C-alpha cells in the first residue's frame, strides 16, 4: 500500500522520460486536516520549454505565472486558465531548464468520497443551472469522471495556485509515491499528440502525450 516517496533524482530527467516514469505512480495530496487524497497517474503530457510552441515557456518566456517552471525538477507548476480551471505540472530537469509534465488524469484510490465532494461543490458553484443542480451532472459523477482531465483532478484533489511552486521532493502537502520500482513498459502505454494545443503549429502533431492503455480514467481516446 505505501510507496517510496519520489526524491529529487526521480524528477531530474528529460520531460518525455519523466512523463512516462510518472505513469503508474501515485500522486498524493494531504489536506490541512490530514486527509489523504491520492490517485494513480494514468495520463501525462510533456512540455519541452523554450523550443516548444505549446509550452508556457516558449521562446524563453519568464513571467509571474510560469516562474515555477524555471525551478528545479520536482517543483509543482499550477496555473489557472479559462477563468475557472487549475491544471498541475511536475517540473522536470534542472533549475533554469523550463520543462514540465502536465498531469492529465488519475485513477482515484484514496479519499474518493472527499474528491466527490470537491468535484460536486465546484461544479455546483460554477455551472449550477437555473433551478439548481439536478439530474445527470450529479448522478453520473462516477469514479471514472472524477479525475479524468487536468482540471478535474485539480478540483478533486483541491490543487490550486496556493500549491504553485511547491517542492514535491520535500513537501508534506503534495508529492509522488513510487508504488512501482520500474517504469511501465512501452507496450502498456499509448503515445499520441497532446490535447488542446491546436494553436501550436508543428508542435501540435508531436507525440508527447502518454497514457496507460485501456485505463478507463484517461481523459480522451
Task: Indicate whether 25 belongs to the interface with DNA (CB under 7 A).
Answer: no
Q: Could you say which residues in the range 33-52 bind DNA, by CB under 7 A? A: 45, 47
Q: What is the DSSP letter of 160?
A: -
Cell, residue 133: 443542480
Question: 108, 147 in Cβ contact below 8 A?
Answer: yes
Contacts with DNA in 158-217 (CB under 7 A)?
Answer: 161, 194-197, 199
For residue 120, the 8-state DSSP code is: H
Longest dimension (CA), the chain: 52
Member of 39, 150, 163, 210 binding DNA (CB under 7 A): 150
CA–CA dist 65, 63 (Å, integer): 5
Cα distance between residue 15 and residue 22, in whole Å: 10
Taking CB under 7 A as the criterion, the residue among 25, 68, 75, 219 binding DNA is 219
Per-residue binding letters, 49-88, with DNA (x by CB under 7 A): -----xxxx---x-xxxx--x-------x--xxxxxx-x-
Q: Which of 220, 3, 221 is nearest to 109 (CA)?
A: 3
- State the minimum distance, in angstroms, from the CB of residue 169 to DNA: 19
What residues line the site for DNA (CB under 7 A)? 45, 47, 54-57, 61, 63-66, 69, 77, 80-85, 87, 89, 100, 102, 119, 123, 126-127, 129, 133, 136-137, 145, 149-152, 161, 194-197, 199, 219
Amino acid at each position: 500500500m505505501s510507496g517510496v516517496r519520489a526524491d529529487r533524482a526521480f524528477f531530474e530527467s528529460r520531460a518525455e522520460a519523466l512523463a512516462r516514469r510518472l505513469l503508474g505512480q501515485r500522486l498524493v495530496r494531504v489536506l490541512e486536516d490530514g486527509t489523504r487524497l491520492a490517485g494513480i497517474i494514468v495520463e501525462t503530457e510533456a512540455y519541452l520549454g523554450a523550443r516548444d510552441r505549446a509550452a508556457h515557456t516558449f521562446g524563453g518566456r519568464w513571467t509571474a505565472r510560469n516562474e515555477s517552471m524555471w525551478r528545479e525538477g520536482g517543483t509543482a507548476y499550477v496555473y489557472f486558465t479559462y477563468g475557472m480551471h487549475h491544471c498541475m505540472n511536475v517540473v522536470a530537469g534542472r533549475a533554469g531548464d523550463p520543462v514540465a509534465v502536465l498531469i492529465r488524469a488519475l485513477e482515484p484510490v484514496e479519499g474518493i468520497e472527499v474528491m466527490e465532494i470537491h468535484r460536486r461543490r465546484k461544479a455546483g458553484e460554477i455551472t449550477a443551472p437555473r433551478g439548481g443542480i439536478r439530474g445527470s451532472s450529479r448522478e453520473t459523477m462516477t469514479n471514472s469522471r472524477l479525475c479524468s482531465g487536468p482540471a478535474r483532478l485539480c478540483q478533486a484533489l483541491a490543487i490550486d495556485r496556493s500549491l504553485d511552486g511547491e517542492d514535491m521532493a520535500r513537501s508534506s502537502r503534495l508529492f509522488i509515491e513510487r508504488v512501482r520500482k520500474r517504469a511501465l513498459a512501452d507496450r502498456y502505454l499509448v503515445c499520441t499528440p497532446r490535447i488542446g494545443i491546436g494553436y501550436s503549429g508543428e508542435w501540435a502533431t508531436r507525440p508527447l502525450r502518454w497514457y496507460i492503455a485501456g485505463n478507463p480514467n484517461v481523459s480522451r481516446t
